Every structure is written in C-alpha cells, then in structure tokens.
C-alpha cells in the first residue's frame, strides 16, 4: 500500500513527507532557508534547541545525547530525512544518529569540507567554528581526506555565536526594530574588534578559502569578509548542505511532488517563542509562523 506521503506516477515516485532540520538555536535556519529556496515543494520541520544553546562549549557526549533526543522527536513527526544543521552536533553525534535512525541523515561538516577542497587554489584553507567543532578536528580530517596536500588552519571563534544569538539584544529599542536593521547592528565597532582578533592570524597565514563552520556565521558574512579580505572565498556549510539534501533525495526517489505545496513548521525549546519568531524570520529571510514550544522534559522523557 502507498502511504499518504509516498506517491507514484508511472515509474516516478514522490515523497511529500517533511525534512527534519535541527540546530542549537537560530543558526540552522540558514540551512533551512537554503533548502526552502532550492526545493520550494519540500516541507520542513525545524527544531531550534535554543534553551540549551550554545552547544560549542559543551562536552561532546552531552551534545551526542541532544542529537539522539531531537532525532527521536523529529522521527515521531514522520520526517523522511534528518539534517543536522549544526557543525558541533554533526561532529559529536552524526555517526551515532546514522546508526540509530532509519532515515538518511546528513551533517554539516562533509559538504563544507568538500566545497573548501574544491575552491582553494593555493591549498591553504582556514576554518572558523565553535570550540567543540574546532577541538574535534573534524574539518581538517574531512578536508585532508579529499586532498592530503591542503594545509588547514583552524580557529575557534565562539563569540561570533554570541554576536548572532545575543549581540543585537545589547542595543536599546524593540527587538523587531533591531532585526529590521540587523546588518547595522552586526558591524558595530566592538564586533569588528572581535572579528579582527579572531581573523587576523588566519589572514597572515595567506589562506584563500575560509570555511564558515557554524551555521550561525553566514549571518556575519559582511563582517567576516570585510576583515579577512575580498581575496578570500567564504564557504558556507549551509549552502553546500542544502545541495546534498537535494542530491540524496533525488537519488532515493524521495523528492516531493512538483505540485506539492511545501509547509514549514517551527519548534523551539525557548520559552520566548515570540522572540524566536521575530529573529527567526530575519534569518529565514521570510516571515515564519509562530513556533511551538517544546519543553526539555518532553525531549528527555
């Protein structure tokens, strides 16, 4: 019997079940946005674990547990694929998740590493990410598995997450007003000072490619690019991951029906769902529906 989500027309099959995407907070919405733009017919269930953000400073075993909890929650929503749109969570829990759950599971590291290896000309690649991502060594391993001759320079830049998640709250005025001019907030002098401190050592290494190894970081492209220099190509793991989502679903015959109208649903562990909606709409680049609150006890139970 064909399920409601699986439709077959002749030799062509479609699967209208949603794609599950999750992150430690808002950052994964950059990936969800890329998926929505590339595949407008696909439905997406997005989960932002804002109450436990950031993941970067946490122990990897703890983050792995979070991946298992959220993965199980999303599986209960009937997703056809899990996308770990968080580099820290990918490093800590991708393999375990792939062993646990029955649907294809993609992480953020491999697509970004592959794009960096293809992009670099002088074979000097920089990687910036959270403490957890950088200390795991996942990007140097992944990049060198593709091209062992590439030299990788990695730097933890945890305050970039702070700028994205919390920095705009430092200003006065309504949150909605801030998000409407978010780019101006990001390039405040104090934020540029932080960026220079992080990025100047990488610039001196003469890298020609920089991997933004955190899905929060594309929101800081103008700031990062302005400091690192126009001669350095920025690689977003979010963009590359969306391409992999399309390719895997296409190969498996699980793309949504071209006539299907994709639905986007949002869930968060943040008790302030209005703030999540306001900032999330800015990151997603379109108005999102009001997210539903999920308690940590529901995940942990």
Annotated catalytic, 214?
yes
Catalytic residue among 31, 53, 138, 214: 214
66 with 28: CB under 8 angstroms?
Answer: no
Catalytic residue among 53, 86, 138, 205: 86
Buried b (16+ CB within 10 A) or exposed e, 63-83: bbbbbbbbbebbeeeebbbbb
Annotated catalytic, 205?
no
> Among candidates 165, 191, 193, which has minimal Cα distance to 282?
165
What residues are labeled active site? 86, 214
């Amino acid at each position: 019997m064909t399920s409601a989500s699986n439709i077959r027309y002749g030799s062509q099959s479609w699967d209208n079940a949603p794609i599950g995407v999750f992150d430690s907070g808002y950052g994964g919405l950059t990936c969800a946005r890329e998926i929505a733009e590339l595949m407008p017919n696909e439905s997406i269930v997005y989960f932002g674990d804002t109450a436990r953000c950031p993941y970067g400073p946490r122990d990897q075993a703890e983050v792995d547990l979070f991946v298992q909890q959220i993965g199980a929650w999303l599986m209960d929503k009937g997703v056809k694929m899990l996308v770990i749109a968080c580099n820290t969570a990918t490093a800590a829990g991708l393999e375990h998740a792939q062993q646990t759950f029955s649907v294809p599971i993609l992480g953020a590291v491999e697509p970004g590493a592959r794009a960096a290896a293809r992009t670099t000309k002088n074979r000097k690649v920089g990687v910036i990410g959270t403490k957890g991502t950088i200390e795991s060594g996942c990007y140097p391993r992944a990049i060198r598995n593709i091209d062992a001759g590439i030299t990788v320079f990695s730097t933890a830049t945890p305050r970039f997450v702070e700028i994205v998640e919390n920095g705009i709250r430092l200003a006065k005025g309504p949150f909605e007003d801030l998000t409407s001019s978010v780019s101006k907030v990001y390039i405040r002098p104090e934020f540029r000072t932080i960026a220079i401190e992080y990025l100047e050592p990488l610039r001196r290494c003469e890298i020609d490619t920089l991997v933004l190894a955190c899905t929060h970081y594309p929101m800081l492209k103008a700031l990062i690019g302005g400091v690192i220099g126009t001669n350095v190509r920025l690689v977003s793991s979010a963009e590359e991951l969306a391409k992999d989502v399309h390719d895997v679903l296409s190969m498996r015959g699980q793309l949504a029906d071209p006539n299907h109208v994709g639905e986007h649903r949002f869930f968060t562990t943040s008790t302030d769902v209005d703030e999540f909606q306001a900032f999330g709409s800015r990151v997603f680049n379109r108005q999102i529906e009001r997210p539903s609150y999920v308690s940590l006890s529901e995940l942990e139970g």
